[in-house]
Amino acid sequence: MFRLQCEAEEERWEVEALFDSAFGPGRIALSAYRLREGVPPVAELSLTARDEFRTLCGAIRFWPFLVDEEPALLLGPVAVHPTRQGEGLGGLLIRDGVDRARDLGWRDVFLIGDQPYYGRFGFSQVQGITFPPPTDPARILHFSPIGAECGLQGSAGKWSGGSGVQIQRRSDSL
């Protein structure tokens, strides 16, 4: 049994250590981090999962970014402690996070990852969007929590809207 809750400030370094152990401390050299530098993750979508002993078992974060000036979300990192993998926790964090993103009004969620894993949550490859090099285009995946087509095209750029991510309710304009 896992308990999901929004990441608290005092959990931050424990979560960072989990991500370091999953991806290696060199993870910040990954191209996706060019979009994250200096930008806070969406607080309502930064989730931790703890077991009945309050041990941190998994975590997920989402970042706001821009595609040709349009707001979108970048899923990740997401990691599950090696001793708790294969129990469905990764799926729980992803589904719960995407559901929360939908409730906040986000319509486009992207990630850079393995289609064989993320395809089961509805993520699929998209054309016409470029991320900072050296991103493999085949690993750029998209999912719309409201079931919309990906109407975005262009270059992924860093978020410039401050921390007021609530203003990005694009579903209002559907």
Ligand X SMILES: CC(C)(COP(=O)(O)OP(=O)(O)OC[C@H]1O[C@@H](n2cnc3c(N)ncnc32)[C@H](O)[C@@H]1OP(=O)(O)O)[C@@H](O)C(=O)NCCC(=O)NCCS
Q: Which residue is nearest to ligand X (CB)?
A: 90
**How many other CB atoms sit within 10 Å of the CB of residue 29?**
9
By CB under 6 A, how many residues form the interface with ligand X?
18
Output the smallest distance, CB 153 to ligand X, in A. 24
DSSP 18-79: HHHHHH-GGGGGSTTHHHHTT----GGG-EEEE-TT--EEEEEEEEEEEETTEEEEEEEEEE
Among residues 113, 122, 132, 157, the one that binds ligand X under rule CB under 6 A:
113
Q: Is 137 in the site for ligand X (CB under 6 A)?
A: no
Among residues 64, 71, 76, 145, the one that binds ligand X under rule CB under 6 A:
76
Nearer to ligand X by Cβ, of 115 and 171: the residue is 115
Q: Is 24 in the site for ligand X (CB under 6 A)?
A: no
Among residues 41, 64, 90, 97, the one that binds ligand X under rule CB under 6 A:
90
Bridge partners (DSSP) of residue 130 are 155
- Residue type at position 89: L
Distances from the Cα of 92 to the Cα of 85, 89, 99, 136, 147, angstroms: 12, 5, 10, 26, 19
Among residues 14, 16, 51, 87, the one that binds ligand X under rule CB under 6 A:
87
**How many other CB atoms sit within 10 Å of the CB of residue 164?**
8
Q: Is 114 in the site for ligand X (CB under 6 A)?
A: yes
Output the smallest distance, CB 58 to ligand X, in A. 7
Binding residues vs ligand X (CB under 6 A)? 22-23, 76-80, 85-91, 113-114, 116-117
